[in-house]
Chain A
Amino acid sequence: MLSRVANSLFWMSRYIERAENTARIVDTNLQLLLDFRNLDDSTLAEHWMPIVESTGDEEAFLAKYSRATGHAVTEFLVFDTENPNSIVRSVAEARENARMVRDQITVELWEELNRLYLWLRDAEARQLWEHSPTEFFANIKNSSLLLLGLIYATFVHDEGWQFMQAGKFIERADKITRIIDVRHATFPAKGAPANISQRDVLDWSAVLRSCSAWDAYKSAYGADVRPEWAVELLLFNEEFPRSVRFCIEKFDDALRAISGVRDRRFSNEAEKLSGRLLAELEYGSIDEVLAFGVHAYMDFLQGRFNDIGAELLNAYIFQPFVSLEEEILVQQEMQQQ
């Protein structure tokens, strides 16, 4: 498969996942506000600012909006075309990558992605967002799930498909750590929270809902919402498809399917780093995370994801590229010999 095609499939899949996760975060936090009373500016900022921070774009946000109100934050995260991680931009990027490989993807996938893109650019989408945000976000989530289903059910599960798997799971793992990080203030720098307020319970319920983890949490831990248990579920659960461990396991599977190298062996840096991280998640525990500090641990994981992503590109995508100018010189030398 062409390296450029692999790259586009990887990013198309990542951007679809990114759009969905952003929709999840904004949606649950909008709903959460309905439970609070007497909201002044500073309470609102306390609620919304961590969400902007979790995307890593707070500088860009503050340069543009003076106050972190629900309206400003959703505008920034959903429709702002200057924010490279907004939903509109993510969908546009996904579509752009899909366009580069139109011949490689199925008609069904292209048409749905194109439909989502055209709909988001239409005035109708904005109207729906204003009248019923929940329905608006449900639309995006449903479309993303439909896209995932189409990728699963209409594609040949070949090398290109594995690149899409890899993109989806590394993005999802990264977004889970960012969603956890939104409410890291519940925890002290190290250790478990001393006492848990009603507000904390609501916040962490929202975190679980963002990850569609509410039911999984209930069946594993019961009705009592404790932040450290929520973190445990989202990091280490073996079977829940939105836990970091689950995602990295699937990501690692995809890498091995691409290279054909068996478990516990590696043929490139990406596989080595991914195998090592997977062991960390398989044998780690929530107590260790608390001792290390929740926020610090999320930072550590995100650093790992970045390294793995970069090594993956090195192994399959950027390796043989040189600059055009250099290549022209190479050719001229070869032709003179």
Chain B
Amino acid sequence: MFLLHPSSDLAKGRGVLGGYETTQGFFDEMVAAGDQTRPHFSKFRDLLSELAARDFDQRRLAVDLAFLRQGITFNVYGDAKGTERIFPFDLIPRIIPAKEWEHIEAGLTQRITALNLFLHDIYHDQKILKDGVIPPFYVLSGKHFRREFAGFHVPKDIYIHICGSDLIRDADGNYLVLEDNGRCPSGVSYVLENRRAMKRTFPGMFEGIGVRPVEHYPQELLKMLQYIAPQGIADPTVVLLTPGAYNSAYFEHTYLARQMGIDIVEGRDLLVRDARVFMRTTKGLKPVHVIYRRLDDDFLDPTVFRRDSQLGVPGLINAYRSGNVSLANSLGTGIADDKVIYHFVPKMIKYYLDQEPILPNVPTYLASEDADRQYIVENLDKLVVKAANESGGYGMLMGPRASQKERDEFRAAILADPRNYIAQPMISLSTHPTRQDDGTFEGRHIDLRPFVLYGEKITIVPGGLTRVALRKGSLVVNSSQGGGSKDTWVLYGDE
């Protein structure tokens, strides 16, 4: 038994979410100006207000315990004890009305189309560079630009098959793209598991509110992977290549492989002979045609990239070049994740599609540009600085919160290697009611990572991973930095 915290809503005599107050200056997902509940949130709020806080807390504890039992955990890097943690889960879902989702869907479709055209272009004719839309220097100097793949023809001309762009909302509620993840975006298993947990916890709500399902993601993923198989293979063997059980996303790898009914392999399970890939089975070698790889380019093949990689498969790239095996995502997509290249995505959309971007970027300053650099180093206390090729909240400076020493270190780093840095103004991420340890609900900052699949057609499962910064005032939502997650409900209607 647990005792009620004196400040909890029940103790104050209100139902769950009863005493919720918004924070000035931020867009709140549940409450509009004038303390009005937004229309798409009101059904949920009404249903929840009938629930006693004690009941709510019991359900919450049951969910946490279930996650721990099921081993739905991530591994913490740099922790010698091999600690596994559950990704904290908040029971108040993020709710997106149909109209907003249509807008997001159109924007993401436009974006992944442009990114794929861009990748095809820079690995072939490089028109966008020749036409001066993007200065060639930025592409050619990209850490993840694979010049050795120039002229190489990828199956069906698709480079990014799985994209996980991060979206945020500014103070006016506009959706903006914060970054594109076109290499090995992770988190989709939480989308599926969070939904399962919510269905167990609030079984009655889904039908009444009208929430669109997400459960078909694994089938869509498998369909896409089969679609990109090398030509002439009628019934392709698809595998998921994982770095192994110690990778932080290992749970997700096994989860997806199981849901798709495909084998999960490590590098040592695969063998290349005559430029064909095989897996070692108890009955001998079996051919492999499509690899959903959850391993970065650098580790794929020690004969081509990092020689010290123990995770890869010698000869894999040769088999890929020979067209005998397909990779998802394709090789060389990392250049699109480069935060400097990100800056140019609106220009790509204009250039290739002759359209205005539906989802705008966050304003970005490039340290390589003289004027921008000048502005960045003079305004470090107002800006967020990011290294061009880091992710997971690493290599980042939150200017206004940083110490003078941290700012000085970043200033030196920026001046020494300007190509590797960008800066953005602090964006006031939207807030969302989130349960606190004392049982009350307060607004916490959130973002959204939808998962886009590009196969025969572009498919976006309605919803995505909503991450929430659990610490008060924090804007960092990454799981490695104290973030949690929420289920994301896309509604059939607008109320």
Residues of A in contact with B (beta carbons under 8 Å apart): 1-6, 96, 99-100, 102-103, 107, 110-111, 114-115, 118, 159, 258, 316-317, 320-321, 324, 327-328, 330-332, 334-335
- For chain B, residues 295 to 334, give those with C-beta under 8 angstroms from any C-beta of chain A: 302-303, 307, 310, 314-315, 318
Residues of B in contact with A (beta carbons under 8 Å apart): 68-71, 245, 250-251, 254-255, 257-258, 263-266, 268-269, 271-275, 279-285, 302-303, 307, 310, 314-315, 318
Residue of A3, A103, A118, A258 with most partner-chain B CB within 10 A: A103
Closest chain A CB from B274 CB (angstroms): 7
Residue of B245, B268, B274, B285 with most partner-chain A CB within 10 A: B245
> Of all chain A residues, which has the CB nearest B274?
A334
Do residues B314 and A102 form an inter-chain contact, with CB atoms below 8 A?
no
> Of all chain B residues, which has the CB nearest A99?
B245
Query: In the bound complex, how far is the Cα of B315 from the Cα of A96, in angstroms?
Result: 30
Residue of A1, A2, A4, A334 with most partner-chain B CB within 10 A: A2
Interface of B is mostly: mixed
> A328 contacts which of B258, B264, B273, B302 (Cβ < 8 Å)?
B302
Do residues B258 and A103 form an inter-chain contact, with CB atoms below 8 A?
yes
Closest chain B CB from A323 CB (angstroms): 10
Query: In the bound complex, how far is the Cα of B71 from the Cα of A274, in angstroms?
Result: 37
Query: In the bound complex, how far is the Cα of B283 from the Cα of A258, in angstroms?
Result: 10
**Which residues on the A side are within 8 Å of B279 (C-beta)?**
2
Whether A103 contacts B257 in the complex (CB less than 8 A), given A111-B69, A324-B314, comes out as: yes
> Of all chain B residues, which has the CB nearest A160?
B282
**Could you pull out 8 A-B pairs where Cβ atoms are within 8 angstroms?**
A2-B281, A100-B245, A103-B264, A258-B282, A317-B282, A324-B268, A327-B315, A334-B274
Do residues A3 and B282 form an inter-chain contact, with CB atoms below 8 A?
yes
> A102 contacts which of B251, B281, B282, B315 (Cβ < 8 Å)?
B251
**Which residues on the A side are within 8 Å of B265 (C-beta)?**
2
**Which residues on the A side are within 8 Å of B310 (C-beta)?**
324
Do residues A114 and B70 form an inter-chain contact, with CB atoms below 8 A?
yes
> A334 contacts which of B250, B263, B307, B315 (Cβ < 8 Å)?
B315
Closest chain B CB from A104 CB (angstroms): 8
**Which residues on the B side are within 8 Å of A330 (C-beta)?**
314-315
**Which residues on the A side are within 8 Å of B71 (C-beta)?**
99, 102, 110-111, 114
Do residues B254 and A321 form an inter-chain contact, with CB atoms below 8 A?
no
**Which residues on the B side are within 8 Å of A2 (C-beta)?**
263, 265, 269, 279-282
Do residues B266 and A328 form an inter-chain contact, with CB atoms below 8 A?
no
Query: In the bound complex, how far is the Cα of B264 from the Cα of A96, in angstroms?
Result: 16
> A103 contacts which of B68, B254, B282, B284 (Cβ < 8 Å)?
B254
Query: In the bound complex, how far is the Cα of B239 from the Cα of A4, in angstroms?
Result: 14
Query: In the bound complex, how far is the Cα of B271 from the Cα of A334, in angstroms?
Result: 13
Do residues A320 and B69 form an inter-chain contact, with CB atoms below 8 A?
no
Do residues B314 and A328 form an inter-chain contact, with CB atoms below 8 A?
yes
> Of all chain B residues, which has the CB nearest A317?
B282
Do residues A331 and B251 form an inter-chain contact, with CB atoms below 8 A?
no
Closest chain B CB from A297 CB (angstroms): 33
Whether A1 contacts B281 in the complex (CB less than 8 A), given A100-B245, A327-B314, comes out as: yes
Do residues A4 and B266 form an inter-chain contact, with CB atoms below 8 A?
yes
Query: In the bound complex, how far is the Cα of B288 from the Cα of A2, in angstroms?
Result: 12
Closest chain B CB from A109 CB (angstroms): 12
Closest chain B CB from A147 CB (angstroms): 15
Query: In the bound complex, how far is the Cα of B270 from the Cα of A4, in angstroms?
Result: 11
Query: In the bound complex, how far is the Cα of B71 from the Cα of A6, in angstroms?
Result: 22
> Of all chain B residues, which has the CB nearest A92?
B82
Query: In the bound complex, how far is the Cα of B257 from the Cα of A2, in angstroms?
Result: 14
Closest chain A CB from B451 CB (angstroms): 20
Do residues A331 and B266 form an inter-chain contact, with CB atoms below 8 A?
no
**Which residues on the A side are within 8 Å of B284 (C-beta)?**
320
**Which residues on the A side are within 8 Å of B307 (C-beta)?**
328
Do residues A320 and B271 form an inter-chain contact, with CB atoms below 8 A?
yes
Closest chain B CB from A329 CB (angstroms): 9
Query: In the bound complex, how far is the Cα of B71 from the Cα of A115, in angstroms?
Result: 9
> B281 contacts which of A3, A100, A110, A321 (Cβ < 8 Å)?
A3
Q: Shortest 9 CB-CB distances between A and B: which pairs?
A: A102-B254, A331-B315, A103-B258, A103-B254, A103-B257, A331-B314, A316-B282, A327-B314, A328-B314
**Which residues on the A side are within 8 Å of B250 (C-beta)?**
99, 102
Query: In the bound complex, how far is the Cα of B261 from the Cα of A103, in angstroms?
Result: 9
Whether A328 contacts B303 in the complex (CB less than 8 A), given A102-B254, A320-B280, comes out as: yes
Closest chain A CB from B77 CB (angstroms): 17
Whether A3 contacts B280 in the complex (CB less than 8 A), given A111-B70, A324-B310, comes out as: yes
| Extra contacts besides A2-B263, A2-B281, A331-B303 (4): CB < 8 Å | A110-B70, A327-B314, A331-B314, A331-B315
Do residues A159 and B282 form an inter-chain contact, with CB atoms below 8 A?
yes
Do residues A115 and B69 form an inter-chain contact, with CB atoms below 8 A?
yes
> B258 contacts which of A99, A102, A332 (Cβ < 8 Å)?
A102
**Which residues on the A side are within 8 Å of B274 (C-beta)?**
334
> A331 contacts which of B268, B272, B282 (Cβ < 8 Å)?
B272
Closest chain B CB from A114 CB (angstroms): 5
